[in-house]
Amino acid sequence: MKYQQELDDAYENMEEITKAFKKLGKKKHNKVDQVFHELHDEAFEKIDCLECGNCCKTTSPIFRDIDGKRIAKKMKMSHADFEKNYLKKDSDGDWVLKSSPCVFLAEDNSCNIYDYRPQACREYPHTDRKRMISILDLTLKNVEVCPAVAKIALEIPNKFI
Ligand code: SF4
Ligand code: SF4
């Protein structure tokens, strides 16, 4: 994987990153957002999702009903058949992919249903959203999946000394 080094660096520094993330809950949320959003832009200037695809290869987005219905319609199948063929319920009762890598991932890491992909795919890895302090646990999990999040997380301890 092209960006394995970013994941390895974050893995080695996970203790420091976790400590820094724990402290973020006490900071002003708009300051936390500002730092994440700047680091997000910087990370994605260097990292190209088409050279990675790790999220699509190793995790599943949540498919809301509205996502499943939209995709099923485009695929000219019933929503029930779409769920039966591609999805399962996870332990939280959410619809997720039955298998990984995602069946819609193409060889070149592009998405075969890009224009009507689930909202969760559009928003991943969520490091440019508002109130980052409300998704710090999720972001910490994504450090192990997404090299861009790993890159961002490695900078967080330096930004809040
Ligand atoms: S639907 Fe597309 S963007 Fe979403 S996980 Fe599958 S391949 Fe990736
Ligand atoms: S969002 Fe992250 S894990 Fe997914 S393809 Fe882009 S860099 Fe890779």
Is 97 strand, coil or helix? strand
How many whole angstroms separate alpha carbon 22 and alpha carbon 153? 12
How many whole angstroms separate alpha carbon 117 and alpha carbon 106? 13
> Once rounded to an integer, what is the mean pLDDT over residues 32-60?
97
> Once rounded to an integer, what is the mean pLDDT over residues 45-69?
97
- Shared-domain flag, residues 40 and 77: no
Vertex 145 angle, CA 139 and 146, to 5°:
75
- Shared-domain flag, residues 45 and 12: yes
How many whole angstroms separate alpha carbon 111 and alpha carbon 58? 14
- State CA 72 to chain mean position distance: 23
- Shared-domain flag, residues 69 and 114: yes
- Shared-domain flag, residues 45 and 95: no
DSSP 8-class letter at 123: H
Q: What is the pLDDT of residues 18-40, one digit of tens each?
A: 999 999 988 999 999 999 999 99
- Shared-domain flag, residues 115 and 75: yes
Q: What is the pLDDT of residues 98-129, one digit of tens each?
A: 999 999 999 999 999 999 999 999 999 999 99
pTM of the full structure: 0.95
Taking the centre of ligand 1 as the mean of its atom positions, its distance from the CA of residue 137, in whole angstroms, is 22
- Shared-domain flag, residues 100 and 129: no
Backbone φ, ψ for residue 18 (5° rounding): -60, -45
- Shared-domain flag, residues 100 and 115: yes
DSSP 8-class letter at 116: G
- Shared-domain flag, residues 111 and 135: no
For the Cβ of 148 lying below 6 angstroms from any atom of ligand 2, the answer is yes
Containing structural domain, residue 109: 62-123
Total tally of structural domains belonging to the chain: 2
- Shared-domain flag, residues 98 and 68: yes
- Shared-domain flag, residues 86 and 72: yes
Taking the centre of ligand 2 as the mean of its atom positions, its distance from the CA of residue 154, in whole angstroms, is 16
Pocket test for ligand 1, best of 54, 55, 105 (most atoms within 8 A of CB): 105
Angle between helices 79-86 and 65-74 (to 10 degrees): 100
Structure confidence at residue 96 (pLDDT): 98
